[in-house]
């Protein structure tokens, strides 16, 4: 790669070294001989590159990145691991035994994303080793962001808010939710948005976020999101299809920045003219809830408490049935972690007792959905600190 | 959904009925009691909606779509199947036995995309039924496009070529490959591009295509593509990073239209000033190869013959080592099927003996890659007809 274009940010070696070390300590505790990673966000997190291959992280000994495409490029990008060209899966058991120092007995793979066909093939190739699910080990590490990651998430937040400010002018007569979305995508890209974002899991699709207005904002969604929209067509099935912006009717602008792999997420509610009821009452309720939940973003708060407290305030305001969707469309969370994927831990969801920790970065998104009428919401991204209030990563109204 | 926005195209009932019938006939031949689909492109193909749920297609009896989110909306969108609300996986074995008429013995799932964790859960829940891989059954059906699908692919081709024509003006001094890409994405969106596209498989990411110039066009790729680029950052790792457009240096504009779920794919090579060598010789070679391969797009031609014939002509022209990439970056195909995903059957690849059929729609993309210098290529999408030459779906230089 010549120096005539911009030089992409490199994940510092101190980062990948620390992450690999932390993971290896966990492997030891779990009794796994090694973990093998093949999914892009895991590869980037642990090596700084998304080369196609198998990253082998043993509990003892040094990690090895077996690269199918392209080993020479990967060696430049992934400085801390031993990169080796590797083209035939049949050699995998041998390489693993070599890296581990004896035949593998228990191996971890990310079974939440590894296709079943690959899983069955690995089981056959690595027999008699047991193949276990190590997805939660890495997800647990990725919950706690480093100072370097927080810098990236701050920049992604700034990018998001640049577009949020521009949206104010776009919400006018003659616009549609889709036309606004298209202009904001363009603006985000020109502001350095990376393009593709990652949403973990089968059918996980994410495309800059979603602008919606009127009854389309209240269409029950297929994905697990409080607002979803009908989509530009039935094949996509989510997002705007082009509903006209009307005076006094809210436009929910939910945008995701994306930079150096890291995602941000913020929602603002915009309108022109005078905001109609019930929205004029509902929007301050969302902002009141967000203020209350913000104060709960401290280490030790059980994640589910944010969802339940939001529900409580919504109920007191008479909006209990509209909290985070209505009917079947309701979701049981009020926020989610963000990082290299838009749906990371911690999930601020019913049933999640695990307490928040310093270094968690979450998007908190109280929303109220009025069937057939529209929706309002407000969302910010925050970094939870050891001491004091959480840091707001998406500042500005 | 109110009628105030555009009404999305509906997949005609005649389409989904015929597809389900064809699939059920195959199930009978394979001895499967039923197939269960959960991936979006399969759900859309067979029902016309991407609701979240399990589509059960029995060999005998009527298909049932068990919808988690949102059954009421899905019932409107998926008219030909019996849509039922379904929220607890524990009931799956019972519903399957009910649909099949007896306890299931052999069930098909798409194991190429189903996560291993889900596979293991289904195996436990559906025990003692065998869970087998039915991905190739559906992929085989999807090879042959219907007249309705061909109409969609024609429109997606027109959308792609609209952007290709606009690219001519954008390739000027002061532009970069990334700046051109961003403007073309915007233009595509305003021309009705649906946004997200589907690329099957783990780490399959696709974002409107890729514009590249200079040595960045020759950077060895991580995905299985002849041209890939360094990416805007190392987390994405593909696509342009912003290399300046230079006089006489080719810009490869590889764009994917997207409409009603269907994808198109076309590449043009653009430049300003006088095209430099070796590109001035290499580009006509690519176009010559494309012309030769176009004539081979008739039912009965083994798919691999197109790759091998292209290689042969490239070798005769002295470009054998640069054909479809160089070194480790080389791919062993010259084209691929397109449809609801960008990487469908048939693959025009070494080792694929299966003959082309009428109704196949393929993108043929001869490219030559000069390490450290740049790349050239030309790509069109074609529909193969029973009689006569293939239909060009991406007309215009």
* pLDDT single digits (tens) B210-240: 999 999 999 999 999 999 999 999 999 999 9
Let me know how long chain A is: 397
Cα-Cα-Cα-Cα torsion B336, B348, B115, B233, nearest 10 degrees, comes to: -60
Give the nearest chain A residue to B184 (CA atoms). Answer: A186
Structure tokens at A161: 């808010």
State how far Cα B97 lies from the chain centre.
Answer: 35
List, for residues A94-110, the tens digit of each pLDDT value: 999 999 999 999 999 99
CA-nearest of A177, A163, A390, A388 to A255 is A163
Res. A2: pLDDT tops 50: no
Taking an 8 Å cut-off on Cβ atoms, the answer to whether A241 and B6 are in contact is: yes
What pLDDT, on a 0 to 100 scale, did the predictor assign at position A5? 64
Interface residue of A5, A79, A215 to substitute, partner B, most B CBs within 10 Å = A5
pLDDT in tens, A238-250: 999 999 999 999 9
Closest CA to A49 of A76, A28, A24: A76
Residue B337 has pLDDT above 70, yes or no: yes
Q: What average pLDDT does the structure give for chain A?
A: 96
Overall average pLDDT of the A362-381 stretch: 98
The helix/strand/coil state of A322 is helix
List chain A residues with CB under 8 Å of B330.
Answer: none
Give the model confidence (pLDDT) of A129-180 as tens digits.
999 999 999 999 999 999 999 999 999 999 999 999 999 999 999 999 999 9
Residue-level pLDDT at B6: 72
Q: How close, in Å, is residue A109 to chain B by CA atoms? A: 10
- Cβ atoms within 10 Å of B2's Cβ, excluding its own: 11
CA-CA distance, B22 to B16, in Å (whole number)?
A: 10
Has this prediction a pTM greater than 0.90?
Answer: yes
Q: How far, in Å, CA of A295 to CA of A293, rounded?
A: 5
Task: For residue A209, list its beta bridge partners.
Answer: A255
Give the count of alpha carbons within 13 A of B121, CB side only: 13
The two three-digit tokens of residue A322, written as one number:
């509209």
- Write the DSSP string, A251-292: EEEEE--EETTEE--EEEEE-SSSPPTTHHHHHHHHHHHHHH
Collect all residues of chain A within an 8 Å Cβ-Cβ radius of residue B341: none
Give residues with Cβ within 8 angstroms of A192, minimum separation 6. A159, A259, B232
Under 8 Å between Cβ of A366 and A310: yes
Enumerate residues 6+ apart whose C-beta is below 8 A from B205: A40, A196, B199, B223, B236, B238
pLDDT the model gives residue B327: 87
- Rounded distance between C-alpha atoms, residue B265 and residue B109, angstroms: 29
pLDDT of residue B3: 47
pLDDT tens figures, A52-63? 999 999 999 899
DSSP string, A2-51: -TTSPPPPPPPHHHHHHHHHHHHHHHHHHT-SEEEE-SHHHHHHHHS---
Report the pLDDT value the prediction gives residue A206, as an integer from 0 to 100.
83
**Chain B contact set for A116 (CB, 8 A):** 109, 111-112, 114-116, 118-119, 133
Indicate the SS3 state at residue B313.
helix
Distance from CA of A38 to the nearest CA of B (A): 9
Contact B232 A38 (CB under 8 A): no
Alpha helix (H) ranges present in chain B?
A: 13-30, 40-47, 71-77, 92-100, 116-126, 135-143, 147-170, 177-190, 279-295, 303-316
Which residues share a beta bridge with B34? B58, B107
How confident is the model at residue A3, as a pLDDT?
A: 47
Q: Is B380 left (phi over 0), alpha (psi -120 to 50) or beta?
A: beta
Residue B158 to chain A, least CA–CA distance (Å): 18
Tokens of A42: 């895991």
Tell me whether residues A6 and B231 touch, CB distance under 8 A. Answer: no
Nearest by CB to A235, from B1, B50, B216: name it. B50
Structure tokens at B23: 């699939």
The CA-CA-CA angle for residues B172, B178, B183, to 5°, reads: 75
Taking a C-beta distance cutoff of 8 angstroms, is the pair A236, B12 a contact?
no
- Percent pLDDT > 90 in chain B is 94
Report the candidate in A147, A151, A119 with the shortest Cα–Cα distance to residue A135.
A119
| C-beta atoms of B232 and A195 within 8 A | yes
Residues of chain B with pLDDT > 70, as a percent, come to 98
Closest alpha carbon to A370 in A316, A329, A315, A309: A329
Sign of CA dihedral B130, B132, B138, B141: negative
Looking at chain B, which residue has its C-alpha nearest residue A261? B235
Residue B4's pLDDT is what?
A: 60
Query: What's the gap between Cα B65 and its chain centre?
Result: 25
pLDDT above 70 covers a percentage of chain A that reads 98
Query: Whose structure tokens read 């649906």?
Result: B194
Distances (CA, A) of A365 to A171, A307, A378, B71: 21, 10, 6, 25
Q: Does position B1 have pLDDT exceeding 90, yes or no?
A: no
- The encoded tokens of residue A80 equal 């801390």
Q: What is the pLDDT of residue A79?
A: 76
The residues, ordered by sequence, that sit 6+ positions from B189 with a Cβ below 8 Å of its Cβ are: A182, A185, A186, B195
* Cβ-contact B95, B63 below 8 angstroms: no
Per-residue pLDDT of A221-230, as tens digits, reads: 999 999 999 9
pLDDT tens digit sequence for A19-52: 999 999 999 999 999 999 999 999 999 999 999 9
With contacts defined as CB-CB under 8 Å, which chain A residues touch B4?
Answer: 214-215, 243-244
Shortest CA gap A238–chain B (Å):
9
Please say whether the beta carbons of A103 and B361 come within 8 A: no
Query: Which of A70-79, A148-157, A330-339 is predicted with the least confidence, judged by mean pLDDT?
Result: A70-79
Kindly report, residue by residue over B55-104, the tens digit of the pLDDT: 999 999 899 999 999 999 999 999 789 999 998 999 999 999 999 999 99
Q: Give the SS3 label for residue B83.
A: strand
Summarize the confidence of residues A261-283 as an average pLDDT: 98
Q: Could you report the per-residue pLDDT of A173-220, keeping only the tens digit for each? A: 999 999 999 999 999 999 999 999 999 999 998 889 999 999 999 999
The pLDDT assigned to B9 comes to 81
Question: In which region does residue A326 sit, left (phi positive, over 0), alpha (psi from -120 to 50) or beta (all else)?
Answer: beta
pLDDT tens digits, B264-301: 999 999 999 999 999 999 999 999 999 999 999 999 99
A211 three-state secondary structure: strand
Give me chain B's average pLDDT, please: 96
Number of A:B CB contacts under 8 A? 267
Q: Is the distance from CB of A244 to CB of A217 less than 8 angstroms?
A: no
Residue B328 confidence (pLDDT) above 90: no
Q: Quick check: A196 and B210 in contact, CB under 8 A? A: no
Residue A54 is inside which H or E element, if any?
Answer: strand A52-58
pLDDT class of B5 with cuts at 50, 70, 90: low
Q: How confident is the model at residue B352 (pLDDT cuts 50, 70, 90)?
A: very high
Mean pLDDT, rounded, for A247-261: 97
Long-range contacts formed by A88-91: CB under 8 A, 24+ apart: A89/A121, A89/A125, A90/A125
């Amino acid at each position: 790669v010549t120096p005539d274009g911009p030089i992409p940010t490199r994940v510092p070696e101190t980062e990948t070294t620390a992450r690999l070390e932390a993971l290896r300590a966990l492997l030891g505790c779990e009794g796994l001989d090694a973990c093998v990673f093949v999914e892009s966000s895991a590869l980037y997190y642990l090596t700084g590159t998304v080369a196609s291959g198998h990253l082998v992280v043993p509990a003892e000994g040094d990690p090895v990145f077996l690269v199918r495409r392209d080993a020479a490029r990967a060696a430049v990008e992934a400085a801390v691991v031993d990169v080796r060209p590797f083209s035939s899966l049949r050699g995998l058991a041998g390489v693993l035994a070599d890296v581990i120092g004896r035949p593998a007995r228990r191996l971890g793979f990310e079974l939440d994303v590894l296709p079943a066909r690959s899983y069955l093939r690995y089981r056959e190739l690595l027999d008699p080793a047991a193949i276990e699910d190590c997805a939660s080990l890495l997800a647990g590490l990725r919950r706690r962001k480093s100072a370097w990651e927080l810098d990236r998430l701050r920049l992604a937040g700034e990018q998001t808010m640049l577009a949020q400010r521009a949206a104010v002018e776009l919400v006018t007569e003659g616009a549609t939710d889709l036309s606004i979305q298209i202009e904001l995508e363009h603006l985000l890209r020109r502001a350095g948005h990376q393009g593709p974002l990652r949403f973990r899991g089968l059918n996980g699709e994410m495309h800059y976020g979603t602008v919606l207005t009127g009854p389309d904002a209240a269409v029950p969604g297929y994905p697990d999101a409080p607002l979803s929209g009908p989509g530009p067509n039935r094949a996509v099935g989510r997002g705007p299809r082009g509903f006209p912006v009307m005076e006094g009717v809210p436009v929910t602008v939910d945008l995701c920045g994306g930079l150096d792999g890291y995602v941000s997420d913020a929602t603002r509610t915009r309108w022109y003219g005078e905001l109609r009821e019930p929205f004029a009452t509902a929007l301050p309720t969302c902002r009141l809830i967000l203020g209350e939940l913000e104060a709960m973003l401290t280490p030790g708060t059980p994640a589910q408490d944010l969802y339940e407290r939001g529900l409580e305030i919504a109920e007191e305001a008479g909006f209990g049935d509209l909290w985070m969707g209505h009917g079947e469309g309701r979701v049981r969370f009020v926020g989610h972690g963000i990082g290299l994927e838009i749906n990371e831990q911690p999930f601020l969801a019913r049933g999640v007792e695990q307490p928040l920790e310093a270094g968690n970065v979450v998007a908190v998104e109280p929303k109220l959905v009025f069937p057939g009428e529209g929706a309002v919401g407000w969302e910010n991204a925050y970094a939870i600190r050891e001491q004091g209030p959480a840091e707001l990563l998406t500042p500005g109204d």
